[in-house]
């Protein structure tokens, strides 16, 4: 569980051991002393050899294996530590009090290697005899985790074959932190270390099954420093990544942001003191529209070593980072957060909860209330470290896993499951362009939930190609707004029943005689009383008039061709007046720039008869 025991402490114990003649024969005692002297001289090879010679004389003396374990811990050979402690434990379970911490070390190291049965007994002994609070907390987690892991293994014997990995060994030593952008231009962004190097970089590739295609290091973002742990908004427009030891940094590692404009990423900017601290910030997640950020930090004031924090982008500014609380964060480490596209589940990695060992991936309902955190279990979690979960729009699950190794920095690979769970979201994509010359436009695209009266998504189309893409939840009523400088805004009501919908928008320039229908103005049946759902449309029209004070408009009311002409005329005029009265209540709207007319049952410019309201540039 990545719970570090310092070699300095272990070596100190080694030197403090008193050798009694009743524990060793005199030849053994001299060899142990020579081993200690060699260790002091940093002659590791001789220290190990003297200890092995001593054990050869007394192979059944458990004290010698305990000292051998201490020696191996001092030279950072963890696999041999476990072997020595296992031998000592097999000879005698009752160790002198000065060796009490060794029960924890033996149990924890065995657990971290997936040797659950071997870890069980020493952990139980430490729970009874141990006295260090941090060790005792972890021992309790490990004890419960052993039971959990054995149950998982018993019930998931045939799941290994479902797991596949991205074939990266010919190019990369390690790959991790996968993020996919959305259809129709699906890219995999990831952090990678090239073969023979520990330097991190942010890469982009197309993926065909488990094969990389067109791998490239992301320009502008990558420098001679280490950049990594990048999060990409699902629309591919915003990136937040980790940069360490930079001149403009606040701490050891900070979060930086970059925007995709035209056909390239722009120069990144430090996210500032509302996000970054004098400590370590890393492993971010960005919502699909880039307005919500979650990340990990070891700043002071948290619940554990590394906690998860969040921030929202409001009116162009990030709010001060807030801790996600003890429902998520433990006494240990929480890292690599991820929210599903439907924003109803949060995934993260932790080494402070019941699990298979090391870092496991967990999930909880979002927003966080009283629901419990659950472990994903096999086949995703193992005794290795599982990190950076990601779920594509089509449902495939991706995550990174450290491969068991005695290396100081074990290599990682990206694994995936092809079984698909349909996301409860819609993908809307298309282009925004000028209605007259078909030139591409950079437009702001906003989606409001009419039932909740709230903005749920916001993005921009790309000036280079006019393309946009946005994810919205399915079960609600939505209004869709597209707005670009020097153009009239366009609004529609979304009624989508497909997982992917293409919508293209031709925005009309602000020219005399141009008419736009207000598609999100709602009235009660056979009435001119405005519904609350009309609020956003009124606000959009008011903002247009405030930004363009020189523009004069006509508010026109229309009805269908059912009923008398007189009735339809009056109803259409009253509805147009209702819109006018709401508009002039807005500060900055000049009522002298607005005319009102009721057309009754008159054909719209589209040729239809329909109850609606329009505005026309005069």
**Strand pairing report for 345-350 and 360-365:** antiparallel
**Nearest residue to 286 (alpha-carbon basis) of 251, 255, 324:** 255
Out of 3.30.1330.60, 3.30.930.10, 3.10.20.30, 2.60.120.10, which CATH number does the structure's domain 511-618 have?
3.30.1330.60
* Neighbouring C-beta atoms of residue 273, cutoff 10 Å: 12
pLDDT of res. 499: 78
**Segments making up each domain of the chain, as ranges:** 7-155, 160-417, 424-509, 511-618
550, exposed or middle or buried, with CB in 10 Å at 0-12, 13-18, 19+?
exposed
Q: Within 13 A of 24's CA, how many CA atoms are on the CB side? A: 22
Q: In the chain, which stretches have pLDDT less than 50?
A: 1-2, 4, 6-12, 14-22
* Secondary structure class of 599 (helix, strand, coil): strand
CATH architecture of 160-417: 6 Propeller (2.120)
Cβ contact 148:355 at 8 Å: yes
In whole angstroms, give the CA distance from residue 510 to residue 485.
9
pLDDT of res. 225: 80
* Neighbouring C-beta atoms of residue 436, cutoff 10 Å: 12
pLDDT of res. 322: 97
In whole angstroms, give the CA distance from residue 326 to residue 275.
20
Q: What is the DSSP letter of 380?
A: T
529, exposed or middle or buried, with CB in 10 Å at 0-12, 13-18, 19+?
exposed
How much is the pTM? 0.88
**Nearest residue to 358 (alpha-carbon basis) of 345, 368, 349, 347:** 349
**Strand pairing report for 188-194 and 444-449:** unpaired
Query: What are the start-end ranges of the E strands in 315-437?
Result: 317-318, 322-323, 334-339, 345-350, 360-365, 374-375, 386-391, 397-402, 412-417, 425-434
Please provide the average confidence, as pLDDT, over all residues in the chain: 89
In whole angstroms, give the CA distance from residue 225 to residue 248.
13
Sequential DSSP letters for 22-64: TTS-HHHHHHHHHHHHHHHTT-HHHHHHHHHHHHHH-TT-HHH
Query: Helix 565-583 vs helix 535-547: angle between axes, to the nearest 10 degrees?
Result: 60
Write out the two tokens for 501: 């919908």
Angle, vertex CA 544, rays to CA 541 and CA 546, nearest 5: 110
Question: 424-509: what fold?
Answer: Immunoglobulin-like (2.60.40)
Query: What are the start-end ranges of the E strands in 418-563?
Result: 425-434, 444-449, 454-460, 467-473, 478-483, 490-494, 500-502, 505-507, 515-517, 553-558
Return phi, psi of residue 220, to 5°: 70, -50
pLDDT of res. 562: 85
* Secondary structure class of 469 (helix, strand, coil): strand
Which CATH superfamily, name and number, covers 7-155? Tetratricopeptide repeat domain (1.25.40.10)
Reported for 340-344, long-range contacts at CB under 8 A and 24+ positions apart, including other chains, are 340/366, 340/391, 340/423, 341/234, 341/288, 341/391, 341/393, 341/423, 341/425, 341/471, 342/423, 342/424, 342/425, 342/473, 343/287, 343/473, 344/424
């Amino acid at each position: 569980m990545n719970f570090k025991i310092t070699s300095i402490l272990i070596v100190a114990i080694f030197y403090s051991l008193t050798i009694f003649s009743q524990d060793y024969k005199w030849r053994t005692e001299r060899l142990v002393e020579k081993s200690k002297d060699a260790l002091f001289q940093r002659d590791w090879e001789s220290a190990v050899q003297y200890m092995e010679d001593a054990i050869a004389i007394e192979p059944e003396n458990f004290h010698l294996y305990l000292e051998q374990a201490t020696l191996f811990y001092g030279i950072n050979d963890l696999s041999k530590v476990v072997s020595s402690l296992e031998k000592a434990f097999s000879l005698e379970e009752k160790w002198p009090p000065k060796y009490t911490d060794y029960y924890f070390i033996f149990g924890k190291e065995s657990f971290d290697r997936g040797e659950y049965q071997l870890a069980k007994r020493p952990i139980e002994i430490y729970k009874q005899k141990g006295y260090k609070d941090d060790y005792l907390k972890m021992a309790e987690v490990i004890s419960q985790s052993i039971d959990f892991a054995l149950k998982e293994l018993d019930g998931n014997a045939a799941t290994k074959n479902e797991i596949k990995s991205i074939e990266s060994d010919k190019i990369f030593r390690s790959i991790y932190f996968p993020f996919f952008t959305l259809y129709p231009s699906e890219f995999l962004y990831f952090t990678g270390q090239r073969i023979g190097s520990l330097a991190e970089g942010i890469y982009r590739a197309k993926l065909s099954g488990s094969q990389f295609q067109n791998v490239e290091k992301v320009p502008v973002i990558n420098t001679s420093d280490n950049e990594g742990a990048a999060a990409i908004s699902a629309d591919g427009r915003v990136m937040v990544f980790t940069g360490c030891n930079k001149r403009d940094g606040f701490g050891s590692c900070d979060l930086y942001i970059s925007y995709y404009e035209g056909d390239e990423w722009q120069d990144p900017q430090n996210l500032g003191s509302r996000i970054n601290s004098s400590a370590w910030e890393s492993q971010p997640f960005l919502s699909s529209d880039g307005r919500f950020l979650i990340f990990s930090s070891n700043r002071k004031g948290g619940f554990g070593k590394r906690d998860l924090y969040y921030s929202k982008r409001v009116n162009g500014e990030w709010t001060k980072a807030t801790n996600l609380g003890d429902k998520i964060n433990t006494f240990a480490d929480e890292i690599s957060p991820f929210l599903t596209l439907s924003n109803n589940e949060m995934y993260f990695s932790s080494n402070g909860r019941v699990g298979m060992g090391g870092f496991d991936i967990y999930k909880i309902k979002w927003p966080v209330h009283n629901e419990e955190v659950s472990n994903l279990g096999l086949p995703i979690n193992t005794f290795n470290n599982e990190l950076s979960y990601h779920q594509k729009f089509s449902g495939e699950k991706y995550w990174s896993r450290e491969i068991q190794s005695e290396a100081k920095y074990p290599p990682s690979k990206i694994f995936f499951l092809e079984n698909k769970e349909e996301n409860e979201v819609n993908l809307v994509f298309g282009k925004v362009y000028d209605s007259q010359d078909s030139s591409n436009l950079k437009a702001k695209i906003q989606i409001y939930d009419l039932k909740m009266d709230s903005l749920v998504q916001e993005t921009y189309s790309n000036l280079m190609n006019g393309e946009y893409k946005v994810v919205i939840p399915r079960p609600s009523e939505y209004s869709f707004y597209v707005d670009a400088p020097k153009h009239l805004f366009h609004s529609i009501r979304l009624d989508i029943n497909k997982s992917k919908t293409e919508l293209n928008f031709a925005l009309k320039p602000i020219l005399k005689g141009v008419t736009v229908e207000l598609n999100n103005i709602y009235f009660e049946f056979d009435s001119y009383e405005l519904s609350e759902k009309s609020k956003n449309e009124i606000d959009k029209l008011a903002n247009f008039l405030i930004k363009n004070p020189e523009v004069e408009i006509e508010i026109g009311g229309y009805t269908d061709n059912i009923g008398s002409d007189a009735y339809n005329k009056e109803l259409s005029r009253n509805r147009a007046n209702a819109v006018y009265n709401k508009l002039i209540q807005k500060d900055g709207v000049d009522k002298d720039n607005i005319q009102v007319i009721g057309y009754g049952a008159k054909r719209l410019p589209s040729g239809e008869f329909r109850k609606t309201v329009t505005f026309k540039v005069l």
